[in-house]
Amino acid sequence: MATETNKKYAQEAYDIVCHAANEIGSRLPGSDSEKEYADYMGDKLREIGIEPVKEEFTVSPRASIGGLPYIGWLGIILSALVYPAIKIPSLWIGMALAGIVGTVWLICSVFLYRTWFDMFFKQEISQNVYGQLLPPDGKYDYTIILSGHTDTSWNWRHSEHAYIYKDKPIIGVLATYAKVGFGAVCYFFLVAVIVALAVIHFGATVGAPFAETILASESYKLFRLLMLFIPVITAIGCAFVAMWNDPDPRNASRGAMDNATGCALSYEIIKYFKENPDKMPKDCRIVDLNCGSEEAGLRGSIAFAREHKNDDLIQNAWHINIDSVADKDYFEVVIKDDWQFTRFDRDLEQMFKDTFQEMNIESKSGGCIHNPVGGCDSTPMTRAGVKSVTFAAQNPMLTYYYHTWHDVPERFSAETVGTGFDVLLGVIDKIAAFEENN
């Protein structure tokens, strides 16, 4: 619960969230509405006498998680091609190559957020917007960066459909995971079968004994019979993957929790210290960073880390990534991106845990989680050598409002956002103490 002194900042943060979700609406990576929100946050900085800096970069919105439906469509097409391939065995080789390329892209771009394939997809212009608050004498020994991302996700249809189970969340989660899991199994099984058949038939063309033995076996004849039915099942499963992201931007997430809350809290923290210079940490610079295109594979934070790798903006810096502060029963520090194989800073982790304890915050997630899928903006910053961690108050399970148009401010309260504000002030005090002692 926000203290009386800080309720003003909590309410202002919530008002920013309401404006982002209800007035601007969905803000897909590289879209005009994402730019509108970034400009809005830049204007807010200007209002308090901090001149914002805009750094533009190119982004391929569909090159990462936004392009996941492409894998579904590839699976549907490969399923359909199984039937002519049974009669024309040479087709298996082309199908296998397509399946391998699709799988490599899926692993590298969608799972690991690599930028290697971005050049093959349509590009847009996105932007990072940040402002700096220096000590009165302009001298600082370290930097605290607070960040949130300005963009929102495509509407995840399966999660959205779970809205009918909002009073029975376990059923909703099972329904969502069942569709996605079935689709994933179908796609990978299909590609594995196609690659195996391509190897067998290629072996037969060069006279390989193993291939001739397999093709002449009774088991293979039975398998060919099964292949008349398997593509129907895999096509259905891949259809679930194809419909994962709703392509219509009008249906995209409104991004109240994820992540207007992060941008709003970052701004209110820098405003707090601007208006209360006596509370500013000694010899510290505060940076409010609004990252673009996080939902397109952390492209904004990647661009920021690359842009500033050789200057002092990220030297001797602490980075608090704020991503979704709305679910009052799930305050937590995210300490690792499992898929990105990145462990975040242990000192910041302990500072958040200590602050939760001091504020008597009890969390159903235990106050500490790993990010099990995808990634967050702490990963590029950690890889750039910055002490970073992610702060959230979000149910870590797939819910009807996560990445759907149900992510609206009416679902949560200014009080929860205010608690997040107080947590951040508590952690900043601990960073200041750590710097003073070390």
H-type helices in 288-413, by residue range? 299-307, 346-358, 378-383
Residues 208, 187: one domain? Answer: yes
Residue 23 CA to residue 26 CA, distance in Å, equals 9
The verdict on residue 367 lying in a domain is yes
The verdict on residue 118 lying in a domain is no
For 271, the 3-state DSSP assignment is: helix
Residues 198, 84: one domain? Answer: yes
Q: What is the DSSP string of 29-40?
A: TTSHHHHHHHHH
The verdict on residue 120 lying in a domain is no
pLDDT value for 1: 47
Residues 166, 229: one domain? Answer: yes
pLDDT value for 426: 97
**End residue of a domain, out of 242, 265, 285:** 242
Residues 89, 235: one domain? Answer: yes
Question: Rounded to whole angstroms, what are the CA distances from 227 to 80, 239, 331?
Answer: 11, 18, 49
Residues 350, 391: one domain? Answer: yes
One-letter identity of residue 179 = K
Residues 328, 412: one domain? Answer: yes
The verdict on residue 353 lying in a domain is yes
Residue 205 CA to residue 195 CA, distance in Å, equals 15
Residue 60 CA to residue 37 CA, distance in Å, equals 19
Q: pTM of the predicted model, to two decimals?
A: 0.93
What CATH number is associated with residue 379? 3.40.630.10
The verdict on residue 423 lying in a domain is yes
pLDDT value for 3: 63
Residues 16, 144: one domain? Answer: yes
Residue 179 belongs to domain spanning: 66-112+162-242
**End residue of a domain, out of 208, 242, 276:** 242
The verdict on residue 222 lying in a domain is yes
Strand 342-343 vs strand 53-59: parallel, antiparallel, or unpaired? unpaired
Residues 214, 258: one domain? Answer: no
Structural domains of the chain, count: 2
Q: pLDDT digit of tens for each residue in the chain (438 aa)? A: 446 768 999 999 999 999 999 999 999 999 999 999 999 999 999 999 999 999 999 999 999 999 999 999 999 999 999 999 999 999 999 999 999 999 999 999 999 999 999 999 999 999 999 999 999 888 999 999 999 999 999 999 999 999 999 888 888 888 888 999 999 999 999 999 999 999 999 999 999 999 999 999 999 999 989 999 999 999 999 999 999 999 999 999 999 999 999 999 999 999 999 999 999 999 999 999 999 999 999 999 999 999 999 999 999 999 999 999 999 999 999 999 999 999 999 999 999 999 999 999 999 999 999 987 889 999 999 999 999 999 999 999 889 999 999 999 999 999 999 999 999 999 999 999 999 998
Return the number of other C-beta atoms located less than 10 Å from residue 137's C-beta: 7
DSSP state of 21: I
Residue pair 337/322 in contact by the 8 Å Cβ criterion: no
Residues 366, 307: one domain? Answer: yes
**End residue of a domain, out of 242, 257, 290:** 242
pLDDT value for 168: 87
Residues 140, 287: one domain? Answer: yes
The verdict on residue 424 lying in a domain is yes
The verdict on residue 231 lying in a domain is yes
One-letter identity of residue 3 = T
Residues 416, 267: one domain? Answer: yes
Question: Rounded to whole angstroms, what are the CA distances from 126 to 30, 285, 302, 328?
Answer: 5, 26, 12, 32
Residues 237, 303: one domain? Answer: no
